[in-house]
Copies of this chain bind each other. A is one copy, B any other.
Amino acid sequence: MTAKRFARREDLRSRLIEAAQSRIQSSGLAGLRARDVTADAGCALGAIYTAFADLDELILHVNSITLARLGAALQHQAAGAAAPRARLMALAKAYLGFARDNRMAWTALFEHRMAPGVPVPDWHLAEHAVLIQHLVEPLAMLLPALGAAELLARARTLFSAVHGIVTISLEDRFIGLAPSDLESELLNFVDTLVAGIESTG
């Protein structure tokens, strides 16, 4: 049976992913070392390259799990609100909450860069796209005249705007707002933007 080989390989992969996830959570993406991860996973240094092409691919899998958790958090929060404005605000709040509660993992999601010339694989791009889909539905209610392509563009823009507000506020580069101010500032932003959409169409 070749199943045993498959099981062992899969076991090694998941041990490496878990070890990497843990290291990222505690030390950040920049603190991730191949030697630490393999030691934590209980395998040799070279074993990484039997399970993954390189460290980047391993990181991609950690990010994949983080995206799934983020997606679940958004889904869970959005379920409570039916009206588009309330739903968009709930999504923004959930996004901020996830970023706060999973700082390092969330940062790794956007900090990570592939080697020059190597594109992000399609399966991972697709996982990012799912996030934006959460915004399409409420936006469609606010902008019933728009087609699917335009709606998608607006959803990506709104996502990027919220993402930017959360990102810069959580960075050291700018003097950050107090945590409570950040949340009210973010919610005020979404509220104002929705008001603008309603007033202009």
Contact = CB atoms under 8 A, between A and B. Distances in A.
Contacts of A179: none
Interface string A169-196: 1001111010001000110110111111
Question: Interface majority SS on A: helix, strand, loop or mixed?
Answer: helix
Given A120-B173, A160-B167, A172-B120, A195 B199 contact: yes
B193 A192 contact: yes
A50 interface: no
A30 B168 contact: no
Contacts of A162: 161, 164
B129 A157 contact: no
A121 to B, nearest CB: 11
A192 B146 CA distance: 15
A27 to B, nearest CB: 8
Residue in A28, A156, A169 whose Cβ sees the most chain B Cβ within 10 Å: A156
Contacts of A98: none
Q: Give the oligomeric copy count.
A: 2
A58 B187 CA distance: 38
A15 interface: no
A165 interface: yes
Contacts of A167: 160, 164
A183 B195 CA distance: 22
Contact of A128 (B31, B129, B169, B173): B173
Contacts of A2: none
A132 B128 CA distance: 29
Kindly list the 6 A-B residue pairs having the minimum CB-CB distance in the complex, ordered from nearest: A164-B164, A196-B196, A161-B161, A192-B196, A195-B196, A160-B168
12 contacts: A110-B173, A129-B175, A153-B177, A160-B165, A161-B161, A164-B164, A164-B168, A191-B196, A195-B195, A195-B199, A196-B196, A198-B199
